[in-house]
Structures are given as structure tokens and as C-alpha cells.
């Protein structure tokens, strides 16, 4: 399944997705309850406002929105239903 419409760009995007999974604990430790843009296997920007994250990430990377992996890093307590 193509996401970006370009096999090479899709491979890069999947690397970023996998990177975020491999570094999920670090992301939770540093970016809990914020939106994070990941590009080239690194965090480009984070903020509580997803529009700001998208805008700054697009400016910093110069790529299309389809090439950015933007996620919300949940509160770990919410993930494990802890109080």
C-alpha cells in the first residue's frame, strides 16, 4: 500500500514509523501529552498544538505533509489505566 504515492518516500516514512515504535519509551519520557513530528528518524518538533507541530515541521523539513509522521504521545497512565 502506497501512502505518499512514491515507493522511496514510503520506505522512509515506514522507517520513521518503526523508529517511533522502537523509541516509544523515550518518546513517552520526553514528550508525554504532546504532538510530535518525526522525520528522518528523529523528532523535528513537539507541541501541545498539532497545527503548530505540522506548520513548523513542514517549514523545517521542506517535505510534503504526507512524508511526515505526526503522532500524539499519550499519557502513560492513560495507556495503562492507572490513576
Q: How confident is the model at residue 37 (pLDDT cuts 50, 70, 90)?
A: very high
Burial of 76: CB neighbours in 10 Å, binned 0-12, 13-18, 19+: middle
User: Rounded mean pLDDT of the chain?
Assistant: 90
pTM here is: 0.86
Q: Where in 1-83 does DSSP place strands (E)?
A: 34-38, 43-47, 69-73
Domain residue extents for the chain: 7-79
Using alpha carbons only, give the angle 60, 62, 66 rounded to the nearest 5 degrees.
Answer: 110
What's the pLDDT score for residue 75?
85
Amino acid at each position: 500500500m502506497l501512502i505518499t504515492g512514491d515507493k522511496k518516500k514510503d520506505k522512509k516514512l515506514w522507517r520513521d514509523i518503526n523508529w517511533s515504535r522502537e523509541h516509544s519509551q523515550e518518546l513517552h519520557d520526553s514528550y508525554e501529552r504532546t504532538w510530535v513530528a518525526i522525520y528522518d528518524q528523529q523528532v523535528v518538533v513537539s507541541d501541545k498544538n498539532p497545527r503548530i507541530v505540522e506548520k513548523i515541521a513542514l517549514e523545517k523539513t521542506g517535505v510534503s505533509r504526507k512524508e511526515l509522521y505526526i503522532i500524539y504521545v499519550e499519557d502513560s497512565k492513560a495507556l495503562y489505566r492507572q490513576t
